[in-house]
Amino acid sequence: MDVLTEVDDARIRSLLERHEFFWLDLHAPDPGDFARVGDMLGLHAMAMEDTREFGQRPKVDVYQSHVLVVFFTARRTGSGEPVATPLEVHIYVSGDYVLTVRQDECDLLDDLHSAIVPHDTETEDYLVYRIFDTLTDAWYPVIAAIEDHVDGLEAEVFLRARREQLSRIYRMRQEVREHHRLVTEQRDRFQPAAEAIRNLAGLSRGAKEYLRDVGDHLAQVTGELHRQYEDLLSLAQTYFNANSDRLSQTATRLTVVGTIFVTWTLVTGFFGQNFEWLVKHVESGPDFLIFGIGGIVVPTIVLGALFWIKRRDWF
């Protein structure tokens, strides 16, 4: 199978005339080049309009001689947040060719150019499957990267909950929710897309499990993203619980300190009264140590012992 990465009019026409299946992969094509490709391949005007605009949702459009699948893969950013960014790829499939159009760099497809050619199969739908399968499997490293990020956030929250962690949790949750929405739509639309591709005239067919395997992987990715979204919901609740526990601990410490100071205030206030006995008898250093300092130290020791016993849950 020939793989083309630029618009070569003579070569494309020659392959079409010989009915030799080929793959044309275009990265950010010039509008004029894409118009020529559309004329040579007989692409529907509405399909070409979608590809000129991009920014589509996952979709499947079935035309008389070809099928357009707007498919999303993803790649890791490697810069923390966002963890990954989705990549939109428009895939045209007919009995004579497969055309992929993308606006962004996609190393997955670039690497597939050389990997797909040496394969000795003549089953054309297997070659189509390889493209869809490669784009789908790119979600697994993204899921692993998100999992690592969520685990790191969880460890930080358990160590010490801070305000900035909550905003990071919310941003991560929004990212996962968007990925989940994309893949869910893609999963729901892929089954009719697979049927339409299998029914294309002129497309040689192998095992039906090829494209069915892509559908299974999409279902797995959807489930993993849903689980991660639920984990982030739980992590937000964990953050609030950790803050609540810390607030309770702070209130407990303030209560202990306040109780001790109330006791000291009571003792010093008592000795500040002008009782006749106190005025006549508490007038030396030893009296001050016994009645003054002792009146503060003894209640403090008693309260400390009570709080310690309570902390040990002895009663």
Q: For position 110, which CATH number holds?
A: 3.30.460.20
| R_g of the chain computed on alpha carbons | 36
287 and 237 in one domain?
no
Pairing of strands 84-94, 66-76: antiparallel
Do residue 291 and residue 269 come from a single domain? yes
Structure confidence at residue 163 (pLDDT) = 84
Query: What are 168's two structure tokens?
Result: 């990071």
Verify that 53 and 157 share a domain, yes or no: yes
Count of domains in the chain? 2
- Measure CA 277 to chain center: 77
Q: Report if pTM > 0.95.
A: no
Q: Please report the pLDDT score of residue 298 as a whole number.
A: 78
pLDDT tens for 43-89 read 999 999 999 988 899 999 999 899 999 999 999 988 778 999 999 99
Q: Please indicate, yes or no, whether residues 226 and 80 belong to a single structural domain of this protein.
A: yes
Sequence-distant (6+) residues with CB within 8 A of 180 are: 222, 225, 226, 229
Query: How far apart, in whole angstroms, are the C-alpha atoms of residue 126 and residue 32?
Result: 31
Last residue in a domain, options 205, 228, 244: 244
Q: Mean pLDDT for each consecutive 10-residue tract of the chain (315 residues)? A: 88 91 92 93 93 91 94 88 93 94 90 70 76 94 94 88 88 94 95 88 68 92 95 88 72 75 75 66 68 75 77 59
